Amino acid sequence: MRIADLPTPSLLLDRRRLAANLTAMRGRTVAAGVRLRPHLKTAKSAAVARLALGAAAGPIAVSTLAEAEYFAGHGFTDITLAVGIVPGKLDRAAALLGRGVRLGLLTDDPSTARAIAARGQALGVTFPVHVEIDSGGSRAGLPPGDPTLVEVARILARGPGSSHAGVLTHAGQSYRRRGATAHAEVAATERDSVVAAATLLRAAGLPCPVVNAGSTPTATFGRDWSGVDELRLGLYMFMDLDQHALGVCGVDDIALSVLASVIGHNRRAAHLLLDAGAIALSKDLSADEFRPGTGYSLVCDAAGGAPLPGLAVASVAQEHGIVPLADPALFDRLPVGARVRVLPVHACLTAAAWDHYVVVEAGEPVDRWDRCAGW
């Protein structure tokens, strides 16, 4: 099948760009002396994971138990569930341990830690659990000097249905900063926070086997990861317009795009319509903060993927993308039935609605890779 024969919309993944992004990040982590734990919450694909890791069975990170089950079914055995666990999900987690998967869990709550230890004992398993640290993003986690940190880690370490696996953080504030210097500063804060938490626990006589941190901006520009064992990140694989707006990547590094068709002209309103709307693209506008005019997606040439100057999806309905045209001559250059590619603002959300990728090389389809979904 050729690109011209694909149904629209289709989710395209450029294998050359993907491979280049994977190679670049592996090089950075090797140079930094840390282990790379790819976060597969964006890709949700065993084929992408194998490219990221080679033939290894891990380490990887995921955000849902459905992802953990999917990757376990594809032979991955070292998995961190990097979203806080609740007691009602522990039986599913235990089933994965029973299949030989080392599934690391996450909490920052003493009562949840007690529930984990008790349920693990009742089920005859030992749950390895990380304590989440807030390194400035303020989404979740304990500040590195909070005495609750020692309390939670002690509960987990005493078990017997749990063990303390270490500390984990995500510097979400990196997505609100722009440029190499700003991201290096956030990376230093991220490192210092999680290392301080590990130091506090060790001083209290508690084990802290793994110190885990990471985001795509901080892993790209961090200068010193001393004391950190693992970097956990996922957007680096695909990149997107948000990362471009933050100064993390170039447009030519974005491996993911949506193939769409022009389905209508509205000359009165001076816009054309695409068959890729909110479900195909998401409703994320985050890139506009640092790159005004990005809207919901940039519109590119269908064959080579080069941006078409001045064209962006400015608004979306469920199945419609609306592209304003400042030049009426573009109606003739992009007639109804013409095809374009649109670049995602946030690759995680754009990919979320799809069940597979159409893998392309040199602009033409070469493979189809599945994705998992659900929770």
Residue 276 has a CB neighbour count (10 Å cut-off) of 29
Query: Domains, the chain, ranges and CATH?
Result: 3-10+248-370 (2.40.37.20), 33-236 (3.20.20.10)
User: Degrees (nearest 5) of the Cα angle 21, 25, 26?
Assistant: 115
Burial class (CB in 10 A: 0-12, 13-18, 19+), 256: buried
Q: What digits encode the pLDDT tens for the residues 170-218? A: 887 778 878 889 999 999 999 999 999 999 999 999 999 999 999 999 9
Residue 81's SS3 state is: strand
Most distant CA atoms of the chain, gap in Å: 72
- Beta-carbon contacts of 80 under 8 Å, excluding residues fewer than 6 positions away, are 37, 59, 60, 61, 62, 103, 104, 106, 130, 168, 212, 232
In whole angstroms, what separates CA 358 from the centre of its chain? Answer: 19
Question: Distance between CA atoms of 327 and 329, rounded to whole angstroms?
Answer: 5
| Residue 364 burial (CB count, 10 A) | 12
* Per-residue DSSP letter, 39: B
Q: Cα 66 to the chain's mean position, in Å?
A: 15
Give the chain's mean pLDDT: 93
| Secondary structure element (H or E) that encloses residue 36, with its range | strand 35-38
Quick one: average pLDDT of 119-147?
92
List pLDDT tens digits, range 158-182.
Answer: 989 999 999 999 887 778 878 889 9
Give the pLDDT score at 55.
Answer: 74
User: What pLDDT, on a 0 to 100 scale, did the predictor assign at position 234?
Assistant: 94
